[in-house]
Amino acid sequence: MRSTTPRPVVVALAALAALVLAGCTSGPARGAPEGADPPAGTPTGPRADVLRVLAGSELRDVEPLLEGVAERTGVRVELEYTGTLEGTQLVADGGAGDHAATWFPSGDYLALLDGGRAAVARSRDVMSDPVALGVAHDAAADLGWLGRSPTWVEVVDAAEDGRLRYGMTSPVSSNSGFATLVGAATALSGTGTVLTEQDVAAVAPQLRRMALGQQLTAGSTGFLVDRFTADPGRVDALFGYESVLRRLRAGGEPLVVLTPSDGTVTAEYPLTLLRSADEEEARAYDAVVADLLSDPVQRQLAGTGRRTRTGGPAGAEGVYELPFPNRLATVRALLSAFQSEIKKPSDVVFAIDTSGSMDGERLVQLQAALTALAVPDGGAGGAAGDGLLTFQPRENVHYVEFADAVKSRGTLAVDPADRAGSLARIRGWAASLRARGGTAIHDSLRVAYEEALAVAEADPGRFVSVTLFTDGENTDGGSLADFRAWYGEQAAAGRPIGSVPTFVVVFGEADPAQMAEVAALTGGEAFTAGGQDLADVFEEIRGYQ
């Protein structure tokens, strides 16, 4: 069960910061890109016992190594996990709160944001993790990729003609997906230099061809790995961090991990001290960084599959590093093009509870959350290109509104020729919702799935998902056991139900345990809204669709 409010995890700090590999190398970590290097040894004098760090969830796997760092330095860290793009925007906007440091896979995006560079006091790289392609052994053999790395053009060709079926995270919500997109676009542009807005337009047709091979999407690396592990045969390959891919298997064999020969983008993992940190926090930061750069800890970090100055994973290839875009406008243009015209289109089926308990403020929150997904770029005071999580051209929005029975259902297509009109119709639907009646969750979810399956069977080339929203327990109709039995029948009949995840929004008095069961059964995820803005929950789910 996920909460949209990042929860602190108290751990001993083992700082990770990454090196960006220059050229074709697997060499040592870079020096500090911002400010002065930390001292060679652990500083003496007063320092904080706790360092609060806003961090990327990719760091969870190094937690077992962190107690030793705390024992040696006397400093532990409270890691509060959040998405890289969301977290860097928070820092740039001055919203890091009492966090003294950040620890994201990349610091490049922060440097592009207004206020981002000014927020950083100093930063140090400790290890690196290039984005790579992990391919099932048999598929790599069929493609002729055993013992050699393909070019991005070869990847595009294999994806377009169906020889490569892959999964990757959404570039809008996950750094690994974003780095994959930047690497592909930069290499395919053929300019040999940093990507520009004009390059984005030029390479979009090739990126669309590549997107034809994507069969699995996710809002986070963890979710992508979970879905692949549950059904490794669904795709031939995954794009992701090298350290993650080397832990995965398909057909009983480890994935063949390849970095495209014409370049990739490396996760930097800079441990960054913010200017808002006080003197004691700065000393704590320096003590931890000094410990992490020691040879024994570098060897431990290399054992996680990352590359450090003491080495890296056995058999790791050299990496030709591609440049990160140097203008925020280029980043926005690339993400906007991906969402609106490059990625395979999506069908989203909303199963929306408007029972009597939703009357009043709860219904107002729900309507506001749905409306926020249907505001055109530049609406509500936003800048053009900001609406990356709103409904996109070529998408279809299906709805099943329910109480003690289905109250209304329909489909609202987002017409590329009239996106503004399409979004207005979706806002009109949200405004029409009214609360009354009981709660028949499982019967209504079954209706939503019939809608989703009809789409998936008619057009296997689309991403299809269900979003279930409820604020109460099931009071009418069939039980969870009944839905589970029906779900099993559809799977046994060969219907593509396993490709349609349900993302559950647990709100109000909804039963978290039952909703988590629904998410687990369908290969989805449950999100607890808690007391925050419901719109944040729906936007987070959009990163998975």
- Measured CA to CA, the distance from residue 139 to residue 216 in angstroms comes to 17
Q: Higher model confidence: residue 78 or residue 249?
A: 249
The whole-number pLDDT of residue 48 equals 67
pLDDT tens digits, one per residue of 254-275: 999 999 999 999 988 899 999 9
Confidence of residue 85 (pLDDT cuts 50, 70, 90): confident
The whole-number pLDDT of residue 68 equals 85
- Measured CA to CA, the distance from residue 210 to residue 221 in angstroms comes to 20
The torsion of the CA quartet 482, 483, 486, 488, rounded to 10 degrees, works out to: -110
The whole-number pLDDT of residue 416 equals 93
Confidence of residue 79 (pLDDT cuts 50, 70, 90): confident
> What kind of architecture, by CATH, is found in domain 345-542?
3-Layer(aba) Sandwich (3.40)
Q: Please state the domain extents for the chain.
A: 2-128+268-312, 130-258, 345-542
Cross-strand partners of 80: 8, 54
CB contact at 8 A, 77 and 13: yes
- Measured CA to CA, the distance from residue 338 to residue 330 in angstroms comes to 12
Residues 109-121 have a mean pLDDT of 89
Between CA 519 and CA 526, with CA 520 as vertex, the angle to 5 degrees is 35
The whole-number pLDDT of residue 86 equals 79
Residues 520-540 have a mean pLDDT of 87
Q: Higher model confidence: residue 382 or residue 129?
A: 129
The whole-number pLDDT of residue 531 equals 56
Residue 193 predicted with pLDDT over 70: yes
pLDDT tens digits, one per residue of 349-401: 999 999 999 999 999 999 999 999 998 764 333 333 357 889 999 999 999 99
> What kind of architecture, by CATH, is found in domain 130-258?
3-Layer(aba) Sandwich (3.40)
The whole-number pLDDT of residue 31 equals 32
Domains 2-128+268-312 and 130-258 share a fold: yes
The whole-number pLDDT of residue 15 equals 26
21 three-class SS: coil
The whole-number pLDDT of residue 284 equals 93
Q: What DSSP assignment string belongs to 429-447?
A: HHHH----S---HHHHHHH
Residues 425-433 have a mean pLDDT of 96
Confidence of residue 1 (pLDDT cuts 50, 70, 90): low
Residue 27 predicted with pLDDT over 60: no
Does the domain formed by 2-128+268-312 have CATH 3.40.190.10? yes
**CA Rg, the chain, in Å?**
24
User: How much of the chain, in percent, has pLDDT values that exceed 90?
Assistant: 69
**Average pLDDT along the chain:** 87
The whole-number pLDDT of residue 532 equals 58
CB contact at 8 A, 413 and 396: yes
Residue 110 predicted with pLDDT over 90: no
The whole-number pLDDT of residue 387 equals 75
The Cβ of residue 509 has, within 10 Å, a number of other Cβ atoms equal to 11
- Measured CA to CA, the distance from residue 534 to residue 451 in angstroms comes to 25
Q: Higher model confidence: residue 312 or residue 131?
A: 131
CB contact at 8 A, 172 and 226: no
The whole-number pLDDT of residue 30 equals 29
Q: Higher model confidence: residue 495 or residue 25?
A: 495
pLDDT tens digits, one per residue of 284-338: 999 989 988 899 999 999 999 999 989 888 778 788 999 999 998 999 999 999 9
Output the CA torsion sign for 234, 239, 242, 244.
Answer: negative
- Measured CA to CA, the distance from residue 26 to residue 306 in angstroms comes to 11
Q: Higher model confidence: residue 516 or residue 388?
A: 516
Q: Higher model confidence: residue 89 or residue 140?
A: 140
Between CA 101 and CA 25, with CA 109 as vertex, the angle to 5 degrees is 95
Nearest CA among 58, 111, 473, 94 for reference residue 224: 58
Structure-token pair, residue 503? 């993302």
The whole-number pLDDT of residue 472 equals 86
Q: At what angle do helices 441-458 and 480-492 cross, to 10 degrees?
A: 20
Residues 107-114 have a mean pLDDT of 86
Confidence of residue 84 (pLDDT cuts 50, 70, 90): confident
Confidence of residue 35 (pLDDT cuts 50, 70, 90): very low
Q: Which of 15-29, 104-118, 221-235, 258-272 has the lowest mean pLDDT?
A: 15-29
